Amino acid sequence: MASTKTAAAAAAEATPDVVYLKCEKLGEKARPFAPAHAKALLQLQADRGLSDWQPADAADVPTATE
């Protein structure tokens, strides 16, 4: 059976509620950000030639049971 999901519905499911970023300079291993905020922060620092904030390592991201 063919999927009846729209592209918008599929994109909404694929967008996480929280994105975790790390910053070694600040000692942050996994700080939660809203996806739009994380995207803007990463773009801003890229525009300035910086790379302090990066996606967090999967091992450092808290799980639902923590």
Handedness of CA 31, 50, 41, 58 (dihedral sign): negative
pLDDT surpasses 60 at 2? no
pLDDT at 59 over 60: yes
Average pLDDT of the chain is 88
Domain ranges of the chain: 19-60
Rounded to two decimals, the pTM is 0.72
